[in-house]
Structure 1
Amino acid sequence: MKNAIITGATRGMGRAIAIAFAKEGLNLAICARNADELEGFKQELLQINPDIKVSVKVANVSVKSDVLAFAAQAEQELGAISVIVNNAGIYVPTSILDDEDNTFDKLISTNLMPAYEFYRYFGKKLIAAQQGHIFTICSSASVNPVVAAGTYSVTKFALLGLNKVMRLELQQYGVKVTAVIPGSTLTSSWDGVEVDSDKLIMPDDIASSIINAYRLSPGANVEEIIIKPVFGQL
């Protein structure tokens, strides 16, 4: 049985992805900042598939030591990790000139640093195993910057760049790397905003696209998955 680690797994896209991998029969390591929420989701995953193991850790993924402790616990409790989902991220809807003083550090630490540290931690182990799959949840802002979210766009550009470097460094060893580039998706980023859910991507759409890419034959890798709302971006 293979083992997957997912950041930001209790809500939105991360939650949907965790459920999809549980149904696929993978053991899971998940983290969040809220212990009760984390434990409740663990029990839900075990109800979905009683045959899997679920490792949970309270962690703030914007703190490097928490990221590394989460990675180490996942290995200790589950064994070798073969699927990595870099999902955690935050959205700040301000132009760069209107950012608070700590916005850049906050967004770099949350949107980019965990994926970079996971790669440093797991990369050579995946090479030694000659298999594995890294999924990085980027954003349409990774390709087309959003003026109203300037620093967010910068960090997502960097995240897509990291994903491309990872793919090039790992492809000769049979390790797959996929960038998931969603447009407007119904997550907590829209809390407090009136939106028509029929005009947004659903988290389950992201999860199903990841599972389909994961199921491909060993010689096939989906480099990028771009999903946009049928009516255009909101």
Structure 2
Amino acid sequence: MSRTILITGASSGLGEGMAREFAARGDQLALCARRTDRLETLRDELQQKYPAARISIRALDVDNHDQVFEVFRAFQEEFGTLERIIVNAGIGKGQALGTGNFDANRQTAETNFVSALAQMEAAMEIFRKQNHGHLVTVSSVSAVRGMPSSITTYAATKVGLAALSEGLRVELAKAKSPIRVTTLYPGYIRTAINESVKNAPFRVDAETGCKAMVKAIESGKNECFVPRWPWTPIGFLLRRLPVPVLAKMF
């Protein structure tokens, strides 16, 4: 049965890759991002490949929080219902603290946490009214511990996003709500945001990574490391290694 899936940051990277995977499964797509030209190209490509696909696109800058609510509500009105919303949009501009790059760290913190909060608020507003839905948040393996240097702020935002998601899961479980929340912890998946990173162990290509993400989402589990191997055991170890050992690794 076809579902309607909203994906933010869908013009490139993981968002684009997940859109391709869900389109292949026959789902309807509500895609949004800042770069509408890329969204248009993606929509046209997918509709040519899957003629029966229903794909709608809208411009969205997630740092414009009022626009987040407007776009989510517009998609819900257009499709009638939204079965799944994937909070994917984010940036990775952070730098080591105290090196004169506060603006980059502030922007990373605002986009990856505050703007993610806005997306979660807008999604839950819709899901509470529907009394059903599946919220997916894209965190990172870096969220399992504090990370050094250029990813310190980035990792901290992903910790915050994961905590928001877990808190929401606890609330919904207590209320016995049918609304579900899944948190993904991707490892190194090759996209524009990390292709220049030299130390990227076990990095996989975007197609492999996005297939793993969609498989994890469809599993319905609360939390998933993706790809499952080797990041599930790596995540387990990272949470337990002493700081001196971590310092030698990064």
- Describe the SS at the equivalent of 2:72: helix
User: Is the 8 Å Cα contact of residues 22 and 48 (structure 1) preserved in structure 2?
Assistant: no
User: Is the 8 Å Cα contact of residues 73 and 126 (structure 2) preserved in structure 1?
Assistant: no
Q: Distance in 1 between matches of 2:110 and 2:44?
A: 29
Q: Cα distance, 1:77 vs. partner?
A: 2.2
Larger Rg: 2
The residue that corresponds to 1:162 in the other structure is: 164
In the alignment, structure 2 segments of 5+ residues that lack a partner are 235-248
The residue that corresponds to 1:121 in the other structure is: 122
In the alignment, structure 1 segments of 5+ residues that lack a partner are none
Change (3 A) 1:99 1:225: farther
Work out the percentage of aligned pairs sharing the same amino acid: 25
Is 1:224 matched up with 2:223? yes
Structure-to-structure mapping, 1:11-160, within 5 angstroms: 11-98=12-99, 100-148=101-149, 149-160=151-162
- Describe the SS at the equivalent of 2:57: strand
Change (3 A) 1:48 1:165: farther
Aligned-residue Cα RMSD (Å) equals 2.6
- Describe the SS at the equivalent of 2:146: coil
User: Is the 8 Å Cα contact of residues 10 and 31 (structure 2) preserved in structure 1?
Assistant: yes
Q: Distance in 2 between matches of 1:209 and 1:199?
A: 14
Q: Cα distance, 1:98 vs. partner?
A: 2.2
Q: Cα distance, 1:104 vs. partner?
A: 4.0
Q: Cα distance, 1:194 vs. partner?
A: 6.0
User: Is the 8 Å Cα contact of residues 127 and 173 (structure 1) preserved in structure 2?
Assistant: no
Amino acid across the alignment from 1:12: G
Structure-to-structure mapping, 1:172-211, within 5 angstroms: 172-192=176-196, 199-211=202-214
Q: Cα distance, 1:156 vs. partner?
A: 0.9
User: Is the 8 Å Cα contact of residues 63 and 109 (structure 1) preserved in structure 2?
Assistant: no
- Describe the SS at the equivalent of 2:116: helix
- Describe the SS at the equivalent of 1:102: helix
User: Is the 8 Å Cα contact of residues 10 and 19 (structure 2) preserved in structure 1?
Assistant: yes
Q: Cα distance, 1:102 vs. partner?
A: 2.4
Q: Cα distance, 1:155 vs. partner?
A: 0.8
Per the normalisation by structure 1, the TM-score is 0.85
- Describe the SS at the equivalent of 1:135: strand
Q: Distance in 2 between matches of 1:21 and 1:194?
A: 31
- Describe the SS at the equivalent of 2:56: strand
Q: Cα distance, 1:138 vs. partner?
A: 0.4
User: Is the 8 Å Cα contact of residues 95 and 104 (structure 2) preserved in structure 1?
Assistant: no
Corresponding residue pairs, total:
229
Q: Distance in 2 between matches of 1:13 and 1:57?
A: 18
Q: Which moved more, 1:110-119 or 1:54-63?
A: 110-119
Change (3 A) 1:131 1:208: farther
Q: Distance in 2 between matches of 1:96 and 1:113?
A: 20
Per the normalisation by structure 2, the TM-score is 0.80
Q: Cα distance, 1:103 vs. partner?
A: 3.1
Q: Cα distance, 1:144 vs. partner?
A: 2.2
Q: Distance in 2 between matches of 1:178 and 1:159?
A: 11
Q: Distance in 2 between matches of 1:183 and 1:193?
A: 13
Q: Cα distance, 1:9 vs. partner?
A: 0.8
Q: Which moved more, 1:136-145 or 1:43-52?
A: 43-52
Q: Distance in 2 between matches of 1:25 and 1:114?
A: 29
- Structure 1 residues 209-231: Cα deviation after superposition (integer angstroms, max 9, x where no partner): 34334444xxxx31111136759
Amino acid across the alignment from 2:191: T
Amino acid across the alignment from 1:94: Q
Q: Cα distance, 1:65 vs. partner?
A: 2.1
- Describe the SS at the equivalent of 2:193: helix
